[in-house]
Amino acid sequence: MSDTTPVLEIRNLHKAYGALEVIKGVDITAHRGDVVSLIGSSGSGKSTILRCANLLEDSQQGDILFKGEPVKWKGDGHTRHPGDPKQVLRIRTNLSMVFQQFNLWSHMTILQNVMEAPLTVLGRDRAEVEEAAHAYLEKVGIADKHDVYPAQLSGGQQQRAAIARALCMEPEALLFDEPTSALDPELEQEVIKVIKDLAAEGRTMMIVTHDMKMAADISSHVVFLHQGKIEEQGDPETLFGSPKTERLRGFLSATAAH
């Protein structure tokens, strides 16, 4: 892969649930080191795009390319699905997803949660993985919580553990699906700080967020979605500073009012 090849590229993506079309021909590109934020009101298709990119959901049309390699499909329309399970696994392990609801395993300690996927999915050496897991827990600021269970942590700490777990896969890119929306405002700030630090390190990220301040602060590119289409996109200064469309102006004034 050359430096100009995007880490993740979505071309003309279409996704429907039965007759309801939720994504209507979307193109999004993330090069190495890009932080791409997807914004828009609920139901605009933001999270669905992320889930399609990570092959957690099947799309009916369009291409998804990981480091220039297109996903191989079988079937078409509503029967279309990825045709190569090994490719799916390779792409998923390189696009680590952080969910809104943390999705930590309640019966495992925080350290075990962070170590599980590199050990079972990637088959990496246990001592190496344990060392890396401690380092990532240190990075997200909860190194002292490694031997407790998720239920013993605050929501912000659980989300930071989920970020450490994603990082321990050593992914090419991180996908965040509303990482702060389940949190109280003060806990939200802990998680935003971690995400800002990752952006400053030059990690490739695609973030679905309702937090316009975070999107403005850390994004290299912002995509505003409306009813499954890209209404407007660009660098954060332009998009937030001088929105061109009435819809984006309305959306930004509505979010600023909250």
Mean pLDDT of 125-134: 97
Domains present along the chain, CATH in parentheses: 8-101+173-257 (3.40.50.300)
- Rounded distance between C-alpha atoms, residue 199 and residue 201, angstroms: 5
Q: Are the C-beta atoms of 74 and 81 separated by less than 8 Å? A: yes
SS (H, E, C) 33-90: CCEEEEECCCCCCHHHHHHHHCCCCCCCEEEEEECCEECCEECCHHHCEECCHHHHHH
What single-letter DSSP state applies at residue 202?
T
pLDDT of 189 above 80: yes
The answer to which of 38-47, 86-95, 108-117, 177-186 has the lowest mean pLDDT is 177-186
Q: Are the C-beta atoms of 150 and 111 separated by less than 8 Å? A: no
Q: pLDDT-derived band of residue 4, with 50, 70 and 90 as boundaries?
A: confident
What's the mean pLDDT when you consider all of the chain?
Answer: 95
Mean pLDDT of 15-28: 95
Residue ranges in the chain assigned as alpha helix (H): 46-53, 85-94, 110-120, 126-139, 155-168, 185-200, 212-218, 236-241, 246-257
Q: Please give the structure tokens belonging to residue 83.
A: 């045709």
Instruction: Render pLDDT for 49-68 as a digit per residue (tens, 0 to 9).
Output: 999 999 999 999 999 999 99
Q: Please give the structure tokens belonging to residue 88.
A: 């799916």
pLDDT of 200 above 80: yes
Q: pLDDT-derived band of residue 1, with 50, 70 and 90 as boundaries?
A: low
